Structure 1
């Protein structure tokens, strides 16, 4: 094996030694990545290189060319391990394994066992396919002759009947036109009363009035027992089919199938409590849940847009850079955020956009705001998924009821998820709880 093969092998080993994805999400430096590029630290493996054999370079005891004499102290050469400098001043060598959001989404699917299939919504292109669709109007040259014939034949077969069998009903003792018509209908013979009346007139003209004088059967039951009714298919097999009476309503014209190409697009509105109770540790947990989900959805969809809303007692929109760090000193009224979310989503019709609303906070909310305002808002805002992430390091406090109330009221809906994060170790479980709810929405 040569040096190029060794180098390639060592690179592969280095990539295999990169930080585990779940470990990176829970404890790694997420800030080193960008929205379109995820950078995961890897542990370096020293690559092989050529070095000179130090035995050929001379040494102590050789007095020529200024070399030290026996017994003379030898100064360490530059680069020795005893070089000047405080221990720990220099950081270790490190590199990064970079992946785009598509690869990140694939790996997170594998890591967590997710199976989210994005839905295509907005139509971005229409093309014409094969002439497989039909309509009742169109150019004469596009007439579907086969369909035209089949429709005419089907109607003909449905309305045809054994005329001689119906005429026998006129020879039943005491049976007039009305009685024969009623008997024919009961026998599922598709004959009209006018046809029976015409047949009775023809028989009367041929044999003279009254027809009753020609009675052959005492009852319709006797007629049915002695005369076999011939089906349409039997008659066609015997005599063939001379013609099919077509109607304009039988015409169908071929049109090309319209193929719609739909873009798998998504808008994500991330909401965060910025009130005084949201300290740095809680804000970091929000970032560890929301950031990987942003990468994941970016990788899953053709086009993704992200909007960021923070709130205390009031709500306002910010950019991504401000979202995870901003903190106010105010109280908390979560419904103010959903009022703003509703306004934002008016720009993204649900018929054209997949919509996600992800909110996070420490579950503290003013008075009855959750019951009276937030829950009705969630029910009225159309979205693929509503999620709330409770961040309470050390356990939930007594007045932190928002997550519980959401779960009690909406937990049985297929598009609402509640997750609780008490520390970094809970982050991947929370991500799974949220994204798996969307994956099972069908």
Structure 2
């Protein structure tokens, strides 16, 4: 095993020792990752490297013209171009090994596995129709698509249902005192499917010296063995199958509609004066993994970020988590803006919708019951979620989450969670996503 193999092995060990997702979401630096690249720190693993012995000892060499003679001390080896950084101690390279990088799709897969989730996104907008397997059957089509197997089975069923033991019926024609019509009536009683013309023809072919061979039909049945259609086919083979036009079936490919799985996530957060630093951190720690997860799950994910105090306004992602305001709080202003944006840009019949809101549950008087709850009911969505971020527990005037939960908690697409510390974040994410899973 060479040095390069050693390095690869150390890299594998480093990846194995990266923080697990729960630890990363709860305590990790989420800000170091982007929307499409999640960087998860790797616990320290030093990659192998050569280092010079720092002891103040000389060396030996031989040669002329500036080359040390035997026994002559030499100084420390000098770094050559390309040997490393100009500054810093030897062996300090390796920043590229400090993180394990994954895309949102891998993040979603691992979070599914770690939390036991099975969210299956639904496609809404048809983007193309493709031909699948030849599983559909019609009564017409080109000869190349004729389902011969089905045709043969239909003909064979007819053969088995209509076939009869001709020799057995000819023996019945030899019963004394019976004519062709008597034999035909007896055949019907015995459920032998034979026509009267066939019986009349067979009756006329019986030699005179064989008429009256049997005194009755009962005597004939007792002395002549009747064979089944299967027995005759095994004995004589299958000479013909009675096909009919109505038996023809033609195979057509199943038409499959491929639907694009589009999702829009509306993130709403309270930026009023009561939202202090710890509360803002809990919002970021909850919303960021949810963004990554849904990005990884859907073909096309778009995000709308809305901040609000007593009024609401739309912001970019980079601004969303850093905004501060000294104003009051009116949560309904954010839902009014969310409703307008969704109706104008993201029609419900084409987009999966998630509306996530977070704050400290403090709201202006009666705004929750009179405005927010009716607005949530008016906005069609896969899931509405509200995350209460109150470090250390709820405050006396923090009632918004409880009021929403009491009014809409049983509707199936509304979930309320409580995050009082980073340790609650993973449970909150699980509760949100498992509620959608149960839809």
Bin of the TM-score, shorter chain as denominator length: 0.5 to 0.7
Q: Deviations over 1:286-343 (max 9, x none)?
A: 0100001000111111110111111112211111011111122221111111111111
Aligned residue among 266, 270, 273 for 1:269: 266
**Structure 2 residue 337 is the aligned partner of structure 1 residue 334:** no
Decide whether aligned partners of structure 1 residues 143 and 369 sit closer, same or farther in structure 2, where only a CA change above 3 A counts. Answer: farther
- 1:285 aligned to 261, 276, 282, which one? 282
Q: Secondary structure at the match of 1:118?
A: coil
Q: Distance in 1 between matches of 2:310 and 2:426?
A: 30
Cα displacement (A) at 1:366: 1.2
Alignment equivalent of 2:373, drawn from 369, 375, 381:
375
1:300 matched to 2:297 = yes
Cross-structure match for 1:314: 311
Q: Secondary structure at the match of 1:417?
A: strand
Aligned counterparts of 2:52 and 2:141: Cα–Cα separation in 1? 87
**1:34-49 to 2 correspondences below 5 Å:** 34-49=34-49
CA contact (8 A) 2:47 2:94 kept: no
Q: Show the counterpart of 1:386.
A: 384
Once the two structures are superposed, what CA deviation does each residue of 1:31-88 show, in whole Å capped at 9, x if it has no partner? 11110000111133223334567899538xxxx85799xxxxxxx9999xxxxxxxxx
Number of equivalent positions: 337
Q: Using a 3 Å threshold, how does the CA distance of structure 1 residues 427 and 144 change in structure 2: closer, same or farther?
A: same
Choose from 82, 96, 103 the match for 1:100: 103
TM-score normalised by length of structure 1: 0.66
- In the alignment, structure 1 residue 120 sits paired with structure 2 residue 123: yes
CA distance in 2, matches of 1:43, 1:275: 38
Query: Displacement, 1:111?
Result: 2.0
CA distance in 1 between partners of 2:146 and 2:11 (Å):
65
1:238 positional shift = 5.0
Structure 1 residue 122: deviation in Å? 1.4
The 2-side partners of 1:99 and 1:288 are apart by 18
Which stretches of structure 1, 4 residues or longer, exceed 6 Å deviation after superposition?
A: 52-56, 76-79, 90-94, 134-147, 251-255
Q: Could you say which residue in structure 1 is the equivalent of 2:63?
A: none
Q: In the alignment, is residue 260 of structure 1 matched against residue 263 of structure 2?
A: no
CA root-mean-square deviation: 4.1
CA separation of 1:328/1:257 partners in 2, compared to 1, >3 Å: closer, same or farther? same
Distance in 1 separating the partners of 2:58 and 2:135: 89
1:239 offset after TM fit, Å?
A: 4.6
SS of residue matched to 1:286: helix
Give me the whole-angstrom Cα distance separating, in 1, the residues matched to 2:304 and 2:414.
19
For 1:15, what is the secondary structure of its paired residue?
A: helix
| Residue in structure 2 matched with residue 364 of structure 1 by the alignment | 362
Q: Is the 8 A contact 2:362 2:399 kept in 1?
A: yes
1:17 aligns to 2:10 (yes or no): no
Offset of residue 387 of structure 1: 0.3
User: Separation in 2 of the partners of 1:6 and 1:140?
Assistant: 64
Q: The residue matched to 2:319 in structure 1 has which SS?
A: helix
Please give the secondary structure, in 2, of the residue aligned with 1:341.
helix
Question: Which one of the candidate residues 330, 345, 348 is aligned to 2:346?
Answer: 348
User: What secondary structure does 2:326 align onto?
Assistant: coil
Separation of aligned partners in 2, 1:144 and 1:109: 44
Say if 1:140 and 1:44 are closer, same or farther in 2 by CA, change over 3 A.
closer
2:173 aligned residue: none
Mapped to 2, the partners of 1:289 and 1:12 lie a distance apart of: 30
Which whole-Å CA distance do the structure 2 matches of 1:369 and 1:33 have between them? 36
Unpaired segments ≥5 residues, structure 1: 69-75, 80-89, 151-229, 241-245
Q: Which moved more, 1:254-263 or 1:102-111?
A: 254-263
After TM superposition, the structure 1 = structure 2 runs for residues 391-430 of structure 1, keeping only pairs within 5 Å, are 391-430=389-428
Q: Distance in 1 between matches of 2:260 and 2:267?
A: 22
Question: Deviation per CA, 1:94-120, whole angstroms, max 9, x where unpaired?
Answer: 711111111111111122222211112
Cα distance in 2 for partners of 1:277, 1:235 equals 92
What is aligned with 2:7? Answer: 7
Identify if the C-alpha distance between structure 1 residues 55 and 395 changes in structure 2 by more than 3 Å, giving closer, same or farther.
closer
Q: Which runs of 5+ in 2 are unaligned?
A: 60-70, 80-91, 155-187, 197-244
The residue number in structure 1 matching 2:28 is: 28
1:344–1:235 distance in 2 versus 1, CA, 3 Å: farther
TM-score by length of 2: 0.66
Q: Per-residue CA shift, 1:113-140, capped at 9, x if unaligned?
A: 2221111211111124466557899999
